[in-house]
Chains A and B, each alone.
Chain A
Amino acid sequence: MICVEILSIFAENKPGKLEKITEVLAKNDINILGFSIVSVKDFGVIKFLVDKPKLAYEKFKEGGFTVALLPALGIELKDRPGGLHEVVKIISSKGINIESALVYVAETRKKAYFVFEVEDLERAWEALKDEKVNFLKPSEFIKE
C-alpha cells in the first residue's frame, strides 16, 4: 500500500493553542506541507502533513499534547479546472467516505495532492489501487 502519515492533534478552542502547536514544529525544524483544522465549537482536531512525522509525533508526546499518527492516502491533482472534482468523483464512485482531507502542494509547485483519511484504509486502497492515478509516496517529501 502506498500511504502517508498524518499527524492529528486534539485542541481545545482556546486563544494561543494553535500557536503552541506550531511552535513545537518550528522549534524542531519540522516543515508543514499541508494542514487542516476541524473545529466543533469548544474543541477541534488539527491535522498536519509534515516532512518529519515520527519526530513530530515524539515531540508532541513529550510536550504533553494529545496526538495521533495515522495513515492516509494521497492522490495527485491535475492543475486545471475540475482537477479536484475528478479525484473526488473517483473516490466517491467506490463508495468511500472521506473523513478528513488536506492538500499538499509539492515543493516544485508543479504538483498538488489530495490527501485524505478514510475509515477503512485497506478497503479504500483495494478499491483505488488500480485506478489511473498517481499516489503520493512518502519518499517524495519525508526527510527523516
Chain B
Amino acid sequence: METRFFNPKIEKLSPSELRVLQFKKLKTVLRRVYQKVPFYREKLKEAGINLSKIKTLSDLKELPFTTKEDLFVDYPFGLLAEPLEKVVRLHTSSGTTGKPKAIFFSKKDIWAQAELIARALVMTGSTSQDILQNSMTYGLFTGALVMHYGAELLGMLVIPAGPGNTERQIELMRTFGTTCVHMTPSYALYVATVIQGKGLKPGVDIKLKRAYLGAEPYSEETRRKIEEMLKVDVYNCYGLSEMGGPGVAFECQFKKGLHLWEDAFIAEIIDPKTGMPVKPGEVGELVLTTLNRTAMPLIRYRTRDLTYAFEEPCPCGRTHIKIARIIGRADDMFIVRGVNIFPQQIEAVLMGIKGVAQNYQIILEGLDEMIVKVEIDRDFFDGRIERLLKLRDEITEKLKAVIQVRPKVELVEPGTLPVSEGKAKRVIDRRTL
C-alpha cells in the first residue's frame, strides 16, 4: 500500500519539533485552565504548583492527575474553559453508577477531532472515493458522530447506519457497495457470521475493504478471524469520550501499534498503583493531556486503559508515538483467588483453540469460583462425546496456563450466549463474598 498523509507536515514532524510543539501547547492549556476553570486552579494551588516553574515537558509529571471522579466535582459545567455559548455539542459516556460523564465540544473541538479521524482514515488507505457504513450508536455516545464528521471531512460517502438490524446492515452493504465499516469487534463477528450463514461471498457479494473496529478491546486472534471471514483489513481504533471520542490513536497500514496523535495529546504511561512512569515498553495505564481542546481541556487524565508504548520508529514515516492495542481496562480487571485477570487474556486463549466459536462468557460465583462458558464450533461437532470432553480439558488447561487459575469450563451450543450488538458483556459477577 502506498503511504499517504492527510496532514503530512504534522504527521511527519521530527520528534524534537513535536516536543517543542507539545510544550508550547501545554503552556497555553495550563494557563487557560488556571484562569478559566476554578476546579483546576484549586487543584493546582493545592498541589503547590507554580505554572512559571513548568520549564520542560517532563515537568508535567509534577502536576496532579485528573480522574473520572473529578469530572463529577463541579458537574456538569464546572470543567468548561469556554462560556457555554461557545459550546456546540454534548456527548456523554455511561458511568458504572449514577450520572454519565458529560463531555463538551466547541466548534473548534469538533473539527480538530474530525481531522484526527481523517488522518487515520487516510493512514489506512481510505480516500474520498470510499463508502463508510457507520454502524456505531449515533447519539450521546461519541463513537458514531465523531467518526461521521471525520469521514465527511475526508470526503467519504457516509452511510449513517447505526448499530443493529443486521439484515438491513447487509442489505446496505450490498446495495450501496460499502467499502469500509465502523463497528464494535463483537458486532463485526456477528455480522460476519450472518453473512456467512446467508451464503454470501465476501469480496463478491459484499465488497468491504476495511473494517474500523473499536469501542471495546479485542485480541489479535479476533482481528485475524474477522479479516478472514469478511476478507477485509481490520484496523484498531482507540479513543474515549473524555478525549473527544474515537481518533485518539489509530493503526496505520502496518497494523503494529496505534499512532497516538501527539500534536493533540501528551501521552504518559504510568503504574496505576504508584502513579509513576513505567519503564519504556512496560504495561501501564495511559494518561492523556489534551492539547487542542478548547471547551473542556483535561490535564493528565487517567484513562484506566492499559497499554504499552513502542520504541522503534514506524516504517510508515509517522513520528507520533505508537501504543499497543488496549490490553484491558483497569476497571475490567477482576480478581479470582487473588489473581488479577483480564477478559482479553481469556479471549486470546479461546480464539487460539480449534473447535471454539466466537462467544464466551465468564461467570464468577459462589465463594470464588470462575466458570467460563464457551460456544462450540458447529463444524467441530461430530457426535463424539469424547472429542467434546477433550476439547473441554484442552480449554481448561490452556486457560490455567495463562491465568494461573483453573476455571470450570462449560461447553454450550453456538449462538446461545448473548451476542451484544454493542459492547459485549463478558463478565458476570455473582459472587457472594
Contacts and interface: CB of A to CB of B under 8 A. Distances in A.
Q: Do A and B come from one complex?
A: yes
Contact of B412 (A6, A12, A99): A12
B414 A45 contact: no
Interface string B324-365: 000000000000000000000000000000000000000000
Nearest to A72: B383
A99 to B, nearest CB: 6
B240 to A, nearest CB: 37
B384 interface: yes
Given A40-B389, A66-B378, A99 B384 contact: yes
A12 B414 CA distance: 11
B413 A12 contact: yes
B416 A47 contact: no
Contact of B413 (A10, A40, A100): A10
Given A10-B388, A45-B388, A67 B410 contact: no
Given A10-B376, A67-B381, A100-B385, 8 more contacts: A6-B383, A8-B383, A8-B384, A12-B416, A40-B389, A42-B410, A44-B385, A65-B413
A68 B382 contact: yes
A65 B383 CA distance: 12
B383 A47 contact: yes
Nearest to B411: A43
A34 B310 CA distance: 62
The residue in B382, B384, B389 that gathers the most chain A C-beta atoms within 10 A of its C-beta is: B384
A133 interface: no
Contacts of A100: 383-385
A45 B385 contact: yes
A65 B381 CA distance: 11
Given A8-B383, A10-B376, A66 B410 contact: no
B383 A45 contact: yes
A92 to B, nearest CB: 18
Interface in A29-54: 38, 40, 42-45, 47
B415 interface: yes
Given A66-B378, A66-B381, A43 B386 contact: no
Contacts of B378: 66
Contacts of B411: 12, 42-43
A43 B383 contact: no
B413 A70 contact: no
A56 to B, nearest CB: 13
B381 A68 contact: yes
Majority secondary structure, A binding face: strand
Contact of B385 (A40, A64, A66, A70): A40
B381 A70 contact: no
16 contacts: A6-B383, A8-B383, A10-B381, A11-B413, A12-B412, A38-B385, A43-B410, A43-B411, A45-B384, A45-B385, A66-B376, A66-B378, A66-B414, A67-B381, A68-B382, A100-B383
A76 interface: no
B376 A70 contact: no
B88 to A, nearest CB: 47
Contacts of A47: 383
Contact of B383 (A40, A64, A68): A68
A123 to B, nearest CB: 16
Interface in A60-113: 64-68, 70, 99-100
Contacts of A43: 388, 410-412
Nearest to A43: B411
Nearest to B383: A8
B360 to A, nearest CB: 15
A117 B383 contact: yes
Interface in B369-392: 376, 378, 381-386, 388-389
Q: When A and B form their complex, which 9 residue pairs have the shortest distance between CB atoms, in order from nearest?
A: A8-B383, A68-B383, A45-B385, A66-B381, A42-B410, A70-B383, A68-B382, A38-B385, A66-B413
A67 to B, nearest CB: 7
A11 B382 CA distance: 13
Nearest to A8: B383
Contacts of B388: 10, 43, 45
A10 B388 CA distance: 10
Contacts of A70: 382-383
A99 B410 CA distance: 22
Contacts of A65: 413
B376 to A, nearest CB: 7
A45 B414 CA distance: 15
A97 to B, nearest CB: 10
Nearest to A38: B385
A40 B392 CA distance: 11
A6 B382 CA distance: 11
Contacts of A45: 383-385, 388
B390 to A, nearest CB: 12
Contacts of A11: 413
Nearest to A10: B381
A64 B416 CA distance: 10
Contacts of A8: 381-384
A93 B92 CA distance: 73
Interface in B98-152: none
Nearest to A46: B383
